[in-house]
Each structure stands twice: as C-alpha cells, then as structure tokens.
Amino acid sequence: MIAIFNVDPDRPAWEFELFGQNPFNWILNGVALLSAAEGTYQRYSDASRLHNKLFARNPTGVITAIDRVLTGGELEILPDLQLGPVSLMLGGFGLENLMKALIVHSDPSIIQGNVGLPKSLKEHRLERLARRCALEIDAETERGLRAVSQFVIWAGRYPIPTRPLDTPTNPFETSGPTRPSVDYLWRHLQVLSALLRERVKELYPHVTV
C-alpha cells in the first residue's frame, strides 16, 4: 500500500515567516556565534602569546627563535595562530544576527514567505547595519567594523576575495593609517557587542545575552 500525504503548498512560506519574523531566533543565533567566536579568539590569543615568547627581535631588529626544541604542547598550540581571522568572522556573524534581530523587531513584516530575505537582511557590512540600527559608535570603531566586515564577507573563510577589489586584498590594511592587529579589531568587535547586548536587554529584559 502506498501512503499518500496531502502537502500544504503554503507551508514552506508560512514556516519561513514563523521563524524569520521572531527576533528571538536571530538573537539565539547571534549569541551562539559570539560564544563560538570568544572560544576561538582565546585559542588564537594563547597561540599568539606563545609565538611572542618563542620568537623575538634581537638588538639588530632581526626576528630570531629561542634555541631549544619545542615541546609537544607548544607544537599543538602554534597552529592556532590561524584562528585569528576565523574568530573575527564568527564574531562578525554574531553581531550581524543581533543587529538583524533589532531590524526584525522593529518591523517583522520585512520578512515575507513568498519573497525571501529582503536586501537589508542580506547585508554583511557591520558598519552599515550599525547605522541602520541607530547604534552610536565613533569613527574609529566604524573603521574597525569596516575591516571586520571583510572577515565576514571573505577573509575569515576564503584565501581571496569573492571578486577582484580595487582596495588592498588584506583587510588588515584597509581600516586606518596603521595596520591593525586581530586584537585591535577584536576590541572594536567587543564595543559593538556590548552596545547590542544592552539594546537587546532593553527590549527583552528577561533574555540572557
């Protein structure tokens, strides 16, 4: 016997709206991504401190390594230097979700099941989303977020941009007169994170973010 089920053709659109128009779903994703970013950044920081301990500039300015064999633990930690860009990508994704939660909160109807995500919810540039959410950030933080956005768009997951760029392909070189470090960009990411967590708590006092 073959079972025949009647499938509601409107169900996918209805479910899309049900989940998409609820700001809590965006908040949950944002908090999870920020938590993953913090753990990844900690691993990067541990590797960075070890690298600075093992390699230093001598009086002539040449970088030299300490004269000993690395331990097994040190060999396991050092590759985590590659996690800096990944932590910025995950953190940027988290901030993006929290800001989109604010956008959806202000107008749930922006998500329509028969249309899909609107252009404003496909935006990955954090500084633009921050302006959309009327978040007060200074010019330096905005420059930092502009650089972090590049890790969300490509630098945290691809070796090259998604298309050739007129600006330098290294996102560390596009946010100010000096070359910012992962730590520098992480601090600006944390500034926006604190603002967003405060805004979410104002709207939803019983939500832990």
Delimit the domains of the chain by residue range: 11-203
Residue 58's pLDDT is what? 77
Closest CA to 98 of 201, 26, 148: 26
Instruction: Please state, in angstroms and rounded to a whole number, the distance separating the CA atoms of residues 142 and 124.
Output: 14
Residue 85's pLDDT is what? 95
Closest CA to 92 of 179, 188, 19: 188
User: Residues in the chain with pLDDT < 70?
Assistant: 1-9, 165-180
Segment (H or E) for 25:
helix 23-54
Residue 164's pLDDT is what? 79
Handedness of CA 29, 32, 36, 42 (dihedral sign): positive
Residue 92's pLDDT is what? 97
